[in-house]
Structure 1
Amino acid sequence: MTNKNHMDKHFTTLDDFLGTHFIYTYDNGWEYEWYAKNDHTVDYRIHGGMVGGRWVTDQPADIVMLTAGIYKISWTEPTGTDLALDFLPNELKLHGTIFFPKWVEEHPEITVTYQNEHIDLMHESREKYATYPKLVVPEFAQITYMGDAGQNNNAVISEAPYAGMPNDIRNGNYYDDHYQRLNK
């Protein structure tokens, strides 16, 4: 097994960031996996926290470089949840703010699925349940993994999260030399 962890990579340009696969843990203990798929799309899996078990592919997002090595990504999910992430990969940290609608706070289990197969349910829930007041979760996070997956790699986030998955990835037991899933 090859370890794909590139914790020593130095980020300067937007192209350095695009195609990078991250695992990070917020100070509140929530663990996320996130992939800058291209200059307008992100994929992610949530391994812990209020919506642990949720995963999403091909989420449109605004991805910009604020200055050399510092990136801001923001998007609105079909759930109505808004996100703003500030990545400082050269310092192995980020700051994320998640703006959960009231309904997600009260019924998180509805969102714990492969969202792409349940967009209509997300829209229905967003209309059916209360949106406000939003639960605002601003947290710093430590980056524990950075992999160079390349852009538009559909193998990066291609299955539901499972217990131990982040460790399998960090330990080099999940992807092959071409950043494709081992042991499918």
Structure 2
Amino acid sequence: MSSAPPTFWPAADAAWRLDRSLIAAIHRELTRPLPKRITKLQRHDLLQRRLSELGDRFGYDSKIEVATGYRRRRYSGRFDVMWSPREGGSLPIVFEVDSCWRHESLLKLGRVSEEALKLWVYYGMRSAPPEPIEPGFRRLNILRIEPWLLGMKDSQRLRHLEPGPWPEVLYPRRAEGGTLRFEPTATFMRSGPIV
């Protein structure tokens, strides 16, 4: 549907950047024509399926709605898609897919340890965010897709918004006395692999 190159904001830390040819393939797959009059939920589900099928074609074991571990002190978070290598050698890739600048998705991806690569597929109107300071966000790749490429009605007439803010902290910690304090020092999902 689109001949324009994808808008890719690579991870600030070069060692965690996804290959641009992979990003181009993901962009091509996700921007294939969608059914007419598709709902927001149907669009999200279809994008998840397309990502999963592409992972399978690339030789990954691909799964949809994979548990992330603990979120808000409850075991309930999920990644939209995860590609796990079938025969070692490369790191898994976790994906979130959103139409708006969602702090919840950024936090989930930001908390992924160094055991996986991560890509946020964002099809909203925000421009590139400032370079993050937090290490978890510095390893995050973002593929921004123009909403009109995904059949979002009237999105071509919308103007780009200012950059989305990064969440203030990744890891809230309990201070003495039981109140929450925020320090970006904890490690997420270090107790086991992301599978």
Structures share fold, TM-score greater than 0.5: no
Larger Rg, first or second structure (1 or 2):
2
Name which structure has the greater RCO, CA cutoff 8 Å, separation 6+: 1
Is the helix fraction higher in 1 or 2? 2
Normalized against structure 2, the TM-score is what? 0.28
